[in-house]
Each structure stands twice: as C-alpha cells, then as structure tokens.
C-alpha cells in the first residue's frame, strides 16, 4: 500500500489547484417550478452518488454502484483507479442482468430486508482476491475477472433455482452461495461445484446457511455462513423454523391473490432454533458448536486467525454473550457478557488486533450521563474490557485500524449530534485525545481502505448534495470520485433558486433532556403571513431524522406548495445514548408522543404558523406515531393525518424488535394494551388517510385491516389508499408519484395552501 500512497501523493500535487474547496454560486440558468413528476424521474435530482463503495483487497481500486442517467433505479458497477484518478464503468449490468428480468419471491424478500426494493441491474457485488469480483444477478452468479486493463465475465451458475448470499472465500478459492436452503461452493480454478452442508428439508422447515426472518430484518444479519480467513473452515447454521407460527399472508396484486404461508414469529410466540456448525474442508469433519433458540438468538459470527467467535443474545435481550471457539479443539468458552437492565443494542464492531486483543464497541456507562456506545479492548483470555474512547457522545461504527500507526478509526457524534464524522483514537497512547478527521458542517459516510491509510468519504450538507472523494487518513482530499458539483449541468440546477435550508433548534422534554428540531420554510417565506405546517414523524428507535445533510427533496416540494415542514427527534430515537432511548421501555407511544406534542406546541406559538392548519404524517413506525399522536392529542390539535404502513398492535409484530422494547405480551399485558392504537380510536376527530401496500411482509396488511374494522365499528370515517403488489415500501417511479399526489390532495383539502 505504500506504493499506492506514493501514487496518491503525486496525484494530489497534480490535481490540487482544481480540487480546492470552492463556494458554489447559484448557477445562472432560467429557474422553473419543480414538477411533481420530476421529483422521482431520471436522472435523480440530487445528482450522481455512488452506492456500495468498496476498496479492492490491494487498495488499488475503489468500486461502487452507480445509477444510470436515464434510469435512476438501474445500477452498473463502476471503478475508480487510485493511481490515475480515472473513473470508468467496470461492468455494464445489461451484460449479466437483462432489463425486465422477473425476480423470484426469495429475491424480492431479500431486497425488501436490505431496503433496496425497486432497484435493478447490479444491486450487490463482493470482492474476492484483488482480481475477482462476484456479482449475483437474476438468481445466478457471475465472476468478474480483472487482468490489467482487461475485464472478463463468466457465468458460474445457470440453473432454475434462485442462488443468493454470494461470497468469494477470503483466499479466492471458492465462490459460495445458498441454493434451495443449502450452502454450495464452486472451485474457481476447476469449476467443480460442491454442496458443503446437508440438503434442506423444506417439509420440516429446516435449512442450512440461511438467516431467519428476524436475523435479516432486525439484526442486520443477512447470512448464515462464514468462511475462515484461510478458506479451510466454513461455519454455518442449521435453521429449524418448525416452531415458528405460520401466518397466512394475502399477497394481493392487481390481477391475482396469492396466499403465502409465511413463517413469522410474532411477539411472545416461538422463534426458530438455530444450530451452529463448522466444517473442516481439509478433513471433511463437521463439528456442532452450539444450539441457539428458541429462547436465545445467534447474533454475530466472526473469525480471527486462530478462533471463531460468536455472539448470542438472550430472549429478554438484556445480555450479549461473547463465545470463543479455538480451531485447535473447538472447545467453547464464554469470554464476556454485555448487559443492561432494559435492553442491549447490537453492533458489527469486531477487529482482532496485533496484540491479541479484540477491538469491539459496547454501550459503556459514563458517570452521571448514562451509557453511550464506545470502543473498547477485550482480552480474549481474561475477558477484561478496557475502554478506548469515552464521553457523553456516541460512537457510530468502527471503520478501520491502522496497525502500523496504532490508530483506530470510527464514525461518531462527538462534536455534534446533528453531524456524523470520522474520528481516530490512538491505541498506543491511551490518554491521547480523540481526533476528528473530517471537517465540520457536513454529515459523512466512510469506507476505509484495508490498511486504513486512506478512505472514501461521502458527505453532504443542507446546501450541497452528496459528494464522494478519495482521502488520505488525515483527511486531505486526493481526488473526487464524484464531485456532484451544483453547477449549470446539475439536474437540480433549474430548481436551485427556490432551494430552502432548514433552521435547527432545540426544545426541552418533560425530563429535561434536549430535543432537536428542524424547520423548513417556503422559498418565498414572509414572516408576516400565516402558513400551514406539516409535522413529519418517524419517532422509532435506531433512526435519526434531524441532522445536517442533504435534506429530502420531498420536503423541498412541500415547501414549494406553501407548507412549513417540521421534524423533531423525540426520546427513544438514535445517537443520544441509552438514557435518551430507554424512556420507551415497556411502553411505546407515550413519551415519544409527548415529545412530538412539545414540538407542536412550539409550532402553534410561532406567529407565521396557522395553529388550525397543522398536519402530521409518517410511515411504518412513523405511521404508528401518527396514529398514536392524533389519538392522544387534545381535540383540534391537528387538521389532518396521513398514516402509512402503520403498526397498530405490537402483538402483530416480530419477536426480536418488539420484545427488545416491550418484553413479551404475556409478561407485559398492560404495556401492550397501552401501546396499541385500539384503546384510543374512539377519540379520533382528525381527518385520517390510511395507506398500506397489500403485499407487505414486514408490517403485515392485517395491521391496517384490523384498524379499518375497528374504526368502522365505532362509526369513524377515514380515507384509504392501498397499493396492490407493494410491500413495506412503495416502489417504482409512477407509484411514487401517485403516492405523493394522493398525500398532497388529502393535505390540500384539509390544510389548504399558504395565505397570500
């Protein structure tokens, strides 16, 4: 990598004059109104922004997925040559994924879990060696082989079965994947295909190497098999879903109705039983390591050069248990337990250091300030935990370790709750201060090089859409990968004159904690006039909606229609530590609602807000919050409410998510009753629009049908919009336009436009 850095230095010297940060004046082009259809058309108004950024194993290339200008939902695989600074398209998706390819039910479900439903072309890829990239497409696998300037692709599988969860083993020996509920591998030299686990038994609901529903949806664990660093061992799961209830789900499309018998573990009901095995590919031996469930969860599996580590979580989710299994004899020892009285939060932070210690992150108690996530060293033999960072602020994620210089790199919120930055902490000098690497004023996403000597950083601000550059580890930019400059050629240029930037401020919750809000005003705002306001709400755990980044362009559209857009992050939301989160323990829809109403009270006091024309809308947990807020607010608080895909009763939602905050229904019946919308629906006096996809496999459609029936039984009128064939998100340009038009028509009837 030293040669690479030398090339970077020369490149920086050559490019420095043209790469200095510049203030961008609004382009001198004719400004026109922003049409609704343009909001979702191609090219995207925010401009090009790389997705899935990764370094090659040798650090010589940066690869990423880039949307096409003529189709913002279709992606090709691109590369950025570190030595020359030249970007180029590496793989045209048309070569391996014909437009219009029909996806299997498994692929649709997996994309829904990964929040990439609606995308096409190349949506995922995996580096093997520095000359191998594995690309799954249309249920088959393609290997991209790089030889200097030559790029060749070859199809590794060609079957009617759906092959997914594809990987190249660390040494590049095998390409592996799941087919029909078992793990297979193709030898990349001989082309020989081998099944590495037992065959699935679908009649018994048993599969191998897969991730059960809650692992994918709630733990962000999308795989059930893991290669050792030397390609010798394969750890894999046996997933027995036979204890899990079958929930018949109607998948209602435009022209047909399919009954899908989905294994869906609702709160309080049985989970899958997951057993962890390891196969020695050299000897062929298979060892059973642990059986987890139905009262525990397998959360994480990691390898070091000598050990396999796995983390389990108890059913109450108050403990994360770290287990070590040396390859020498597979004797399992529990090394460490992270515990909290309410619930524990998972992370993916795990790195073996040269000293033999592990670098992990844990929510560590800070004197008087509650628990915040911080980096810590874990001694594998003693289990002793030594904090590496500290303070009343959150570490977001570890992104790299420079073993040579002795630095740990991570993202976090030390300087501002509203901005995520890259930081580094010395591992050699424990008392050294934490250093911020990225400049203030923006929010950053980081992909670190394998040796942590450089990184790809994507940043944005309310004034600047996402920009992606290659940077040295000290923060000096080497070259733009995608400058996305707001000049005359930018897609947003014709509409930039009316661009508005949020005002940020703070309010105080009932317990004295600080609540951050954002206020977006119309472009022709006149403080002497009175405007309708729209409260955009999510409010659930692990999400933050108020931050300094490139704001949602739908907000820009609302403000151009004369609405004020207001957001406030209530207690229970992300990046504020456990004390801020824990207020919802065993009772949701209470503290969050009161915090939202603090924001509404403040809005009503502003002279430029019409207190009789305030609306509220949200999706998913935000749909739940919309309902709970209007049902518990004083009569007349809101003039309109739009609830999309709402949870209406937590007993209908899955175990891992729901029980983390609520315990099991049988252990907290009063909390479940108070956290459901049904006890409050008699108080509905706000015009309500209910929206739901009719094939939703996350917040299942019966959440809304039960609400419809209850409202009808009590004589409560409401409006309804359903989307045949759509899952938890509404995908597709035409449908997204329709959804926005539906919302606007409803809001317009009840909130009207700004007074002139």
Cα separation of 185 and 173, whole Å? 9
Is position 696 annotated as part of the catalytic site? yes
Q: Could you identify the residue written with the tokens 């009954």?
A: 259
Considering only CA atoms, which of 651, 656, 654, 672 is closest in space to residue 588? 672
Q: How far apart are the first and last CA of the chain?
A: 62
Q: Which two tokens stand for residue 110?
A: 């997996």
Residues 520 and 500 sit within 8 Å (Cβ to Cβ): yes
Cα separation of 680 and 635, whole Å? 13
Cα separation of 43 and 467, whole Å? 16
Sequence-distant (6+) residues with CB within 8 A of 124 are 52, 135, 136, 166
Q: What is the CA radius of gyration of the chain?
A: 26
Cα separation of 452 and 473, whole Å? 7
Cα separation of 653 and 662, whole Å? 11
Residues 614 and 597 sit within 8 Å (Cβ to Cβ): no
Residues 56 and 145 sit within 8 Å (Cβ to Cβ): no
Cα separation of 455 and 687, whole Å? 50
Cα separation of 390 and 548, whole Å? 24
Strands (E), 148-295: 150-155, 163-168, 174-179, 182-187, 193-195, 206-208, 225-227, 233-240, 246-252, 257-263, 273-280, 286-292
Q: For 583, which DSSP code?
A: G
Sequence-distant (6+) residues with CB within 8 A of 679 are 673
Question: In degrees rounded to 5, what are phi and psi of residue 5?
Answer: -65, -35
Is position 620 annotated as part of the catalytic site? yes
Q: How far is residue 234 from each of residues 150, 172, 275, 368, 415, measured CA to CA in Å?
A: 32, 14, 14, 45, 42
Cα separation of 644 and 729, whole Å? 9
Cα separation of 84 and 479, whole Å? 10
Q: What angle do CA 163, 169, 171 make, to 5 degrees?
A: 155
Q: Are strands 385-387 and 370-378 parallel, antiparallel or unpaired?
A: antiparallel
Residues 564 and 531 sit within 8 Å (Cβ to Cβ): yes
Out of 696, 697, 702, 704, pick the active-site residue. 696
Host H or E run for residue 111:
helix 105-113
Residues 262 and 701 sit within 8 Å (Cβ to Cβ): no
Q: How far is residue 212 from each of residues 265, 291, 542, 662, measured CA to CA in Å?
A: 10, 14, 21, 21
Q: Which two tokens stand for residue 601?
A: 């009270």
Q: Which two tokens stand for residue 614?
A: 């305030």
Sequence-distant (6+) residues with CB within 8 A of 302 are 226, 308, 309, 310, 350
Sequence-distant (6+) residues with CB within 8 A of 70 are 42, 43
Is position 575 annotated as part of the catalytic site? no
Out of 518, 620, 651, 676, pick the active-site residue. 620
Q: What angle do CA 566, 569, 571 make, to 5 degrees?
A: 145
Q: Could you identify the residue written with the tokens 């009837």?
A: 749
Dihedral angle of Cα 25, 30, 31, 37, to the nearest 10 degrees: -120
Q: Could you identify the residue written with the tokens 């336009």?
A: 737
Considering only CA atoms, which of 484, 485, 478, 449 is closest in space to residue 84? 478
Residues annotated as catalytic are 620, 696, 728
């Amino acid at each position: 990598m030293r040669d690479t850095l030398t090339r970077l230095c020369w490149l920086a010297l050559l490019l420095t004059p043209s790469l200095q940060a510049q203030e961008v004046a609004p382009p001198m082009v004719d400004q026109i109104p922003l049409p609704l259809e343009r909001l979702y058309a191609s090219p995207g108004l925010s401009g090009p922004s790389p997705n899935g950024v990764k370094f090659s194993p040798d650090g010589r290339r940066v690869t990423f997925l880039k949307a096409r200008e003529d189709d913002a939902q279709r992606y090709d695989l691109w590369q950025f040559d570190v030595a020359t600074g030249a970007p180029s398209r590496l793989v045209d998706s048309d070569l391996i994924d014909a437009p219009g390819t029909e996806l299997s039910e498994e692929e649709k479900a997996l994309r829904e879990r990964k929040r990439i439903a609606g995308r096409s072309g190349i949506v995922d890829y995996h580096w093997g060696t520095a000359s191998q990239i594995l690309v799954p497409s249309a249920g088959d696998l393609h290997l991209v082989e790089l030889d200097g300037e030559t790029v060749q692709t070859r199809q590794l599988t060609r079957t009617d079965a759906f092959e997914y969860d594809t990987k190249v083993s660390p040494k590049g020996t095998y390409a592996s994947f799941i087919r029909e509920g078992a793990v297979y591998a193709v030898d990349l030299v001989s082309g020989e295909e081998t099944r590495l686990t037992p065959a699935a038994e679908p009649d018994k609901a048993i599969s191998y190497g897969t991730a059960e529903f809650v692992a994918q949806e709630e733990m962000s664990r999308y795989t059930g098999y893991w290669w050792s660093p030397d390609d010798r061992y394969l750890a894999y799961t046996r997933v027995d879903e036979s204890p899990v209830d079958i929930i018949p789900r109607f998948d209602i499309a435009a022209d047909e109705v399919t009954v899908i018998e989905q294994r869906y573990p609702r709160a309080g009901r049985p989970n899958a039983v997951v057993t962890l095995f390891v196969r020695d590919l050299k000897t062929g031996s298979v060892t059973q390591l642990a059986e987890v469930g139905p009262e525990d969860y397998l959360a994480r599996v990691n390898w070091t050069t000598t050990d396999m580590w796995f983390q389990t979580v108890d059913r109450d989710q108050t403990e994360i248990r770290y287990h070590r299994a040396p390859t020498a004899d597979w004797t399992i020892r529990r090394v460490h337990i992270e515990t909290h009285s309410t619930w524990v939060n998972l992370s993916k932070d795990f790195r073996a250091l040269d000293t033999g210690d592990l670098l992990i992150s844990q929510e560590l108690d800070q004197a008087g300030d509650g628990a915040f996530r911080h980096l810590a060293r874990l001694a594998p033999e003693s289990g002793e935990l030594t904090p590496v960072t500290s303070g009343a602020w959150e570490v977001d994620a570890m992104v790299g370790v420079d073993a040579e210089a002795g630095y740990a790199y991570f993202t976090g919120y030390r300087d501002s709750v509203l901005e995520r930055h890259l930081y580094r902490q010395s591992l050699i000098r424990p008392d050294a201060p934490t250093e911020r690497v990225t400049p203030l004023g923006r929010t950053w996403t980081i992909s670190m090089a394998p040796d942590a000597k450089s990184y790809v950083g994507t940043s944005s601000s309310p004034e600047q859409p996402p920009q992606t550059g290659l940077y040295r580890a000290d923060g000096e930019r080497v070259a733009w990968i995608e400058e996305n400059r707001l000049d005359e050629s930018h897609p947003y240029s014709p509409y930039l004159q009316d661009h508005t930037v949020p005002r940020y401020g703070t309010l105080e919750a009932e317990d004295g904690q600080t609540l951050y809000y954002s206020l977006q005003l119309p472009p022709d705002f006149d403080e002497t006039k009175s405007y309708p306001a729209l409260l955009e709400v999510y409010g659930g755990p692990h999400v933050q909606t108020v931050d300094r980044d490139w704001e949602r362009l739908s907000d820009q559209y609302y403000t151009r229609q004369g609405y004020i857009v207001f957001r406030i992050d209530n207690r229970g939301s992300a990046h504020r530590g456990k004390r801020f989160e824990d207020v919802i323990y065993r009772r949701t829809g209470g503290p969050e609602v009161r915090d939202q109403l603090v924001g509404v009270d403040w809005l009503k006091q502003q002279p430029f807000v019409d207190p009789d024309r305030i609306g509220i809308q949200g999706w998913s947990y935000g749909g739940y919050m919309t309902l709970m807020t209007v049902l518990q607010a004083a009569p007349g608080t809101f003039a309109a409410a739009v609830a999309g895909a709402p949870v209406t009763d937590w007993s209908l939602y899955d175990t891992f998510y729901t029980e983390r905050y609520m315990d099991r229904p049988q252990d907290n019946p009063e909390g479940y009753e108070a956290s459901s919308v049904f006890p409050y629906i008699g108080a509905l006096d706000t015009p309500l629009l209910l929206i739901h996809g009719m094939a939703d496999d996350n917040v299942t459609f019966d959440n809304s049908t039960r609400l419809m029936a209850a409202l009808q039984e009590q004589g409560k009128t409401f409006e309804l919009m359903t989307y045949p064939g759509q899952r938890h998100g509404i995908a597709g340009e035409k449908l997204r336009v329709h959804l926005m038009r539906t919302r606007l028509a409803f809001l317009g009837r009840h909130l009207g436009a700004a007074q002139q």
